[in-house]
Amino acid sequence: MARTALWQSIATTLTAEIAAGHYRPGDRLPSEGALATRFGVNRHTVRHALARMATEGLVLSRRGAGVFVAATPTDYPLGRRVRFHRNLAASGKVPGREILSIETRASDATEAQALRIAPGAPVHVCEGLSLADGQPIALFRSVFPAATMPGLPALLRAQQSVTRALSDLGIADYTRFETRITAQLATAVQAIHLRVQEGDPILRTVAINTAPGGQPVEYGTTWFAGDRITLTLREETEKQGDSDPILSQD
Cα separation of 72 and 229, whole Å? 8
- The total of structural domains in the chain comes to 2
Contact 204, 184 (CB under 8 A): yes
Best CA proximity match to 245, nearest among 120, 151, 124, 144: 144
Cα separation of 187 and 192, whole Å? 9
Comparing 91-100, 179-188, 225-234, the range with the smallest average pLDDT is 225-234
> Does 241 have pLDDT greater than 60?
no
Contact 62, 89 (CB under 8 A): no
- Same domain membership, residue 136 and residue 31: no
CATH, residue 78: 3.40.1410.10
pLDDT of residue 249: 42
Best CA proximity match to 173, nearest among 126, 236, 238: 238
- Same domain membership, residue 55 and residue 110: no
Cα 202 to Cα 79, 90, 130, 187, 222: the distances in Å are 20, 24, 14, 10, 10
pLDDT of residue 243: 38
Cα separation of 181 and 3, whole Å? 50
Q: Where is pLDDT greater, at 206 or 71?
A: 206
- Same domain membership, residue 80 and residue 54: no
Q: What is the share, in percent, of the chain residues with pLDDT greater than 90?
A: 45
The per-residue pLDDT for range 157-183, each reduced to its tens digit, is: 888 778 888 889 988 888 888 889 999
- Same domain membership, residue 187 and residue 128: yes
In sequence order, what are the residues at sequence separation of 6 or more whose Cβ sits closer than 8 angstroms to the Cβ of residue 176? 78, 79, 80, 81, 82, 207, 208, 209, 245, 246
- Is residue 101 a part of any domain in this protein? yes
- Same domain membership, residue 181 and residue 148: yes
- Is residue 126 a part of any domain in this protein? yes
- Same domain membership, residue 131 and residue 60: no
Q: What is the share, in percent, of the chain residues with pLDDT greater than 70?
A: 85
Tally of CB atoms within 10 A around 47: 16
CATH, residue 32: 1.10.10.10
- Same domain membership, residue 131 and residue 50: no
> Does 236 have pLDDT greater than 60?
no
Average pLDDT over residues 37-52: 94
| Phi, psi angles (nearest 5°) of residue 86 | -65, -40
* pTM of the entire predicted model: 0.71
What is the domain range of residue 115? 74-233
